């Protein structure tokens, strides 16, 4: 007989998500946090102003449907607000979809280097996680389709993917969808969509609009509102109805709602953020390759940098060296890359500093 309440079977088998570290060793004067894919330009000044105005009304519950925010998202993307659900980060939506559409014994598919929360949410629902091998650090449509069984209920596709930064062109996403049974839900996690500047990429809006088994999730985090925890879903009405039945009644707080509205409307800040990212991602890729480091081609706001296998100049040693100099990158061992670091695109000072420090490290 148990002496205390026990989690149901399987919960304690879940490996908890560990976020990127945010501190440097004691004594480091200045810290550049490059571990969480945050916006180096910060939030929109208009979003900051909107959040400050909310502070005088924190005694009042927010609008439970986030109607004005949904309308603003709809205006920006040409979507019907009725097909939008706002959330406490897009992570919440991912968890709700797993809770709603997975039962014990069901299967959910994702790729081997995909966002770790997919596995967590699948296991939390009592379902079976199915990790499919990638090809050249990129999702492989044929491998995903080959993994589908009669027990498959959800396919999670991060597009672009974190931590690799690779993506599937829209024709490949369409081919994936066409190969899935209508009863399988395709979840397109487009958290980094704003940063992609490729003609063959689409976040998934048209695919959702034309089908009953596709959902697109998005976030405000990468454009400066990570601390506000704000995300959203575009989905068919039947899926919206199901999610609205189980989400928290006030799952998006008042500060996040107003900051989100202001952030969407500040198109100049979005454009500056994207332009900064494009410039420095390209520069960093070139500089790392000059140092002899392999970089996975990325369309996101981060780079996956691979280190030599000699141990002395491996990822763990590089991470220690950089941390001692105030540059905090992300170890990605849990994603299947024991000898790589993921670096968020930072400020000019941070970007140049990392390259300089790594040049010294590799010479040592």
Rounded Cα distance, 148 and 26, in Å: 49
Quickly state the pLDDT bin for 16 (edges 50, 70, 90): confident
The H or E element that residue 186 is part of is strand 185-189
Q: Give me the chain's average pLDDT, please.
A: 95
Q: What is the pLDDT, as a whole number, of residue 255?
A: 97
Stretch 288-305: mean pLDDT, rounded?
A: 98
Rounded Cα distance, 348 and 300, in Å: 17
Q: What is the pLDDT, as a whole number, of residue 2?
A: 65
CB 193 within 8 A of CB 299: no
Q: Which two tokens stand for residue 295?
A: 């970089």
Q: What is the pLDDT, as a whole number, of residue 353?
A: 98
Q: What is the pLDDT, as a whole number, of residue 364?
A: 82
Residues 6+ apart with CB under 8 A from 251: 86, 87, 88, 92
User: 10-17, long-range: CB within 8 Å, 24+ apart, which pairs?
Assistant: 10/123, 10/126, 11/123, 11/124, 13/123, 14/120, 14/123, 14/124, 15/120, 15/334, 16/120, 17/116, 17/117, 17/120
Rounded Cα distance, 308 and 290, in Å: 14
The H or E element that residue 169 is part of is none
The pTM of this model reads 0.95
pLDDT tens, 50-73? Answer: 999 999 999 999 999 999 999 999
Nearest to 149 by CA among 106, 212, 120: 106
Q: Which two tokens stand for residue 61?
A: 């519950």
Task: State residue 332 phi and psi, 5-degree precision.
Answer: -125, 30
Stretch 41-47: mean pLDDT, rounded?
A: 97
Give the pairing type, strands 185-189 and 152-158: parallel
Rounded Cα distance, 220 and 210, in Å: 25
284-293, 304-313, 347-356: segment of lowest average pLDDT: 304-313
pLDDT tens, 157-185? Answer: 999 999 999 999 999 999 999 999 999 99
Q: What is the pLDDT, as a whole number, of residue 279?
A: 98
Q: What is the pLDDT, as a whole number, of residue 28?
A: 81
Quickly state the pLDDT bin for 277 (edges 50, 70, 90): very high
pLDDT tens, 124-141? Answer: 999 999 999 999 999 999
CB 359 within 8 A of CB 291: yes
Nearest to 334 by CA among 121, 22, 120, 116: 116
Residues 6+ apart with CB under 8 A from 210: none
Q: What is the pLDDT, as a whole number, of residue 1?
A: 57
Q: Compute the C-alpha angle 273/274/280, nearest 5°.
A: 90
Task: State residue 213 phi and psi, 5-degree precision.
Answer: -130, 30
SS3 298: coil
Domain annotation for the chain: domains and CATH numbers: 23-42+268-363 (3.90.1150.10), 45-265 (3.40.640.10)
SS3 342: strand
Q: Compute the C-alpha angle 136/332/89, nearest 5°.
A: 100
């Amino acid at each position: 007989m148990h002496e205390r309440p026990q989690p149901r079977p399987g919960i304690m088998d879940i490996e908890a998500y560990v976020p990127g570290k945010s501190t440097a060793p004691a004594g480091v004067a200045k810290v550049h946090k490059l571990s969480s894919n945050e916006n180096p330009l910060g939030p929109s000044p208009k979003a900051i102003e909107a959040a400050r105005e909310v502070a005088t009304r924190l005694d009042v519950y927010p609008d439970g449907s986030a109607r004005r925010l949904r309308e603003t998202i709809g205006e920006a993307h040409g979507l019907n607000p009725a097909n939008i659900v706002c959330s406490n980060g897009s992570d919440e939506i991912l968890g709700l979809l797993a809770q709603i559409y997975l039962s014990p014994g069901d299967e959910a598919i994702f790729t081997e280097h995909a966002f770790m929360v997919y596995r967590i949410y699948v296991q939390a629902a009592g379902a079976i996680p199915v990790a499919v091998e990638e090809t050249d650090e990129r999702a492989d449509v044929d491998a995903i389709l080959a993994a589908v069984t009669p027990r498959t209920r959800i396919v999670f596709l991060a597009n672009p993917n974190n931590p690799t930064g690779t993506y599937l062109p829209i024709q490949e996403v369409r081919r994936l969808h066409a190969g899935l049974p209508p009863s399988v839900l395709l979840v397109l996690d487009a958290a980094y969509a704003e940063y992609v500047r490729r003609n063959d990429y689409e976040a998934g809006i048209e695919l959702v609009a034309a089908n009953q088994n596709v959902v697109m999730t998005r976030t405000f985090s990468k454009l400066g509102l990570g601390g506000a925890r704000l995300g959203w879903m575009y989905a068919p009405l039947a899926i919206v109805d199901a999610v609205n039945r189980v989400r928290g009644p006030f799952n998006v707080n008042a500060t996040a709602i107003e900051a989100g509205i202001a952030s969407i409307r500040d198109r100049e800040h979005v454009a500056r953020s994207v332009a900064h990212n494009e410039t420095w991602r390209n520069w960093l890729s070139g500089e790392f390759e000059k140092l002899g480091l392999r970089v996975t081609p990325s369309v996101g706001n981060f780079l996956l940098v691979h280190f030599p296998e000699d141990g002395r100049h491996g990822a763990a040693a590089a991470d220690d060296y950089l941390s001692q100099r105030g540059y905090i990158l992300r170890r990605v061992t849990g994603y299947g890359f024991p000898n790589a670091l993921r670096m968020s695109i930072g400020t000019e000072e941070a970007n140049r500093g990392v390259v300089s420090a790594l040049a010294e490290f590799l010479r040592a």
